[in-house]
Amino acid sequence: MKQFALLSSIPLLVLAASASAATTVAMHVIDASGVGKAIGTVALSDSAKGLVLQTDLAGLTPGQHGFHVHENADCGAKEKDGKRVAGLAAGGHYDPAKAGKHEGPSGKGHLGDLPTLVVDAQGRAKGSLVAPRLKLADVKGRSLMIHEGGDNFSDNPKPLGGGGGRVACGLIK
């Protein structure tokens, strides 16, 4: 009877393990009025090399975009200095060690620094990125943010890589 109970619980353990092995984030356009239309997904999973982000996005401006994990699972606009700002409810870059600096996905700064997202001439970003210092467990309950410009992984000449405004966001569940 004990063997039967043990064996019957194995499928539940396998299901629980596979359920936590990946998650898909629905990404949406954001602006000062809030969260807008869906633009695709980012699938997140763990690997031996770090957190894998499989992007399948459309409708973005071609070129490089800053891409980060932000502190809060909230993509809404929030007021700052009397003006509504897109995605500000997401808070800042995920920085649990309080590094207070931006050094990219392999640096010693914010853990939320992800590889640059490159969007093709048709406005699509379809590919795989790896964040070597992150695991899925680190980012659950946070948000993914795409910024309007590129990211130089430095705080100079502009803070946070100089990426600019927040243009798309998704909740990591």
pLDDT at 102 over 90: no
Query: How much is the average pLDDT of 9-38?
Result: 73
Give every CB contact of residue 125 below 8 A, 6+ residues apart in sequence.
40, 55, 56, 57, 58, 60, 65, 117, 118, 119
**Is residue 11 in a domain?**
no
pLDDT at 135 over 50: yes
**Is residue 111 in a domain?**
yes
Model pLDDT, residue 74: 98
Model pLDDT, residue 44: 98
Cα 162 to chain centroid distance, Å, stands at 18
The pTM of the full predicted model, rounded to 2 decimals, is 0.85
Domains: count for the chain = 1
Q: Residue 164's domain is classified under what CATH number?
A: 2.60.40.200
Residues of the chain with pLDDT > 90, as a percent, come to: 75
**Is residue 159 in a domain?**
yes
pLDDT at 42 over 60: yes
**Is residue 109 in a domain?**
yes
**Is residue 2 in a domain?**
no
**Is residue 5 in a domain?**
no
Q: Are 30 and 75 in contact (CB under 8 A)?
A: yes
**Is residue 1 in a domain?**
no
Q: Which amino acid is at 145?
A: M
**Is residue 10 in a domain?**
no
Which of 10-14, 26-30, 44-48, 112-116 shows the lowest per-residue confidence on average (mean pLDDT)?
Answer: 10-14
Mean confidence (pLDDT) of the chain: 87
Model pLDDT, residue 151: 77
Full domain range(s) for residue 98: 22-171
**pLDDT-based confidence at 49, cuts 50/70/90?**
very high
